[in-house]
Amino acid sequence: MQNQHLPTVGVVGLGYVGLTLTAALADKGYTVHGADISPTVIAALSQGRSYIFEPGVDDALRTHVGRGIHVGTNLPQDTVDVAVISVSTPVDDTTHRPYLDNLTAAARTIGATCRPGTLVVVRSTVPVGTSRRLVLPELRAAWGDQVRLVMAPERTIQGQALRELVELPQVIGGLDEQSLRLGIAFFDGLARTVVPVSSMETAEMVKLSNNCHTDLIYAFGAEIALIAEQNGLDPLEVIRAANVDYPRPDLSKPGYVGGGCLSKDPYIMINSAGTYEPFLVGRARELNEHLPAHVADTIVRMLREARGETRGLRLAVLGWAYKGWPPTDDMRGAAIEIMMPIFAAAGITVLGHDPMVPADVIRNYGGEPVSLDKALTDTDAVLVTNDHPDYRAIDITTMLGDARPALIYDSWRNLNADTITGLGIRYAGLGYVPAATA
């Protein structure tokens, strides 16, 4: 039953950010009207089905669609008290400049369909200054001086979004004091903690700072791994020893870095820098994008050493989504996208398995979908790219066939290296490439 004292909310853009917010608000008793331009998205949601994987979203849709959640291609006229903009802001693959037309269009739509004075919340990730520069003029053109506008960035992790929407502090910056008060009152109904900041620009930079810092941390883990590899060292041993009872921030385990945020937000931060040229942000992103290519080149070299020729060889890749834990089916920024052209150039056939990623998606990326059993029994090499629990649970001794692979490259080092090498299979991981034994 909906709480009649709560504001009615409109969410423009039902991608990951908008859909998870819609589900979380509905679970709190809000009435939510969601709008998206994709007929496929609207068709799925209208039937109470989520088109993304996120724990709890399907349950919320089944419970609330048609009651607390209503979806369509546009918001209902003069109905909502709060309008949230959560459209995508992708970056160009070549120029890395953000595409913001979706944001402008959403603001224009809200100005046309909502009442003057409606609280507008920018939730999309944008360059610093964008809410004021692009969203505000569209609203003022429709409403004059009756604009109430805040920026409140989304900062959840995939796999835990519904929990984090409540538990993580919500940072809010307002156009003016009245906007900020309305924004605080709105998010007080959702989150345990609200953090007001002095401006919309500050809130915009908070989101970028969080994600760029994460990208930097992971990039340093990759740097350690690549330097350790050059010196024949085990990077995990280095990192473990460095972290034992040391009172400064822990070093990060090396791994691939992807997803919708970390693969683009550093470029949005760079776009925010004006005439200043950042030293760290761009180089960290470059390193994180280099790591999958380095691994693919390493696997090709090791296979050439083992088999003499790579053309016609079969490589099983376990884990196509950008991460395995918390589980996701998200392919944005996935390591395999960078790796596939290198494997193709070497003439290697790639077999693909991921418990979260549909077979047709694996085919679209150039792989041949296979079962986990076949991936381990009918291949020349195995590459584990993410840490899904199914891969951590692999029992190599029982799952391998008679024709054993020459190489297992275990990116996350979750398999038992001694068992694998004891079976006569070469074992390697990120930054860990022991010499082949005779």
Total domain count for the chain?
2
Residues 142 and 180 in one domain: yes
pLDDT at residue 378 tops 90: no
248 domain residue, yes or no: yes
* Biggest CA-to-CA distance, the chain: 78
Segment 394-430, tens digit of pLDDT: 999 899 877 789 999 999 999 999 999 999 999 999 9
Residues 380 and 246 in one domain: yes
Supply the range of the domain harboring residue 185: 9-200
Residues 167 and 303 in one domain: no
- The CATH number of whichever domain residue 164 belongs to comes to 3.40.50.720
| pLDDT given for residue 213 in this prediction | 97
pTM of the model: 0.94
Last residue of one domain, picked from the residues 145, 179, 200: 200
Last residue of one domain, picked from the residues 181, 200, 219: 200
Residue position matching structure tokens 């066939």 = 401
Segment 301-339, tens digit of pLDDT: 999 999 999 999 999 999 999 999 999 999 999 999 999
Segment 121-176, tens digit of pLDDT: 999 999 999 999 999 999 999 999 999 999 999 999 999 999 999 999 999 999 99
pLDDT band at residue 435 under the 50/70/90 scheme: confident
User: What's phi and psi for 119, nearest 5 deg?
Assistant: -70, 125
308 domain residue, yes or no: yes
263 domain residue, yes or no: yes
Residues 164 and 252 in one domain: no
1 domain residue, yes or no: no
The answer for residues whose C-beta is within 8 angstroms of residue 312's C-beta and 6 or more apart is 347, 349
| pLDDT given for residue 4 in this prediction | 56
CA distance 239 to 5: 52
Residues 340 and 265 in one domain: yes
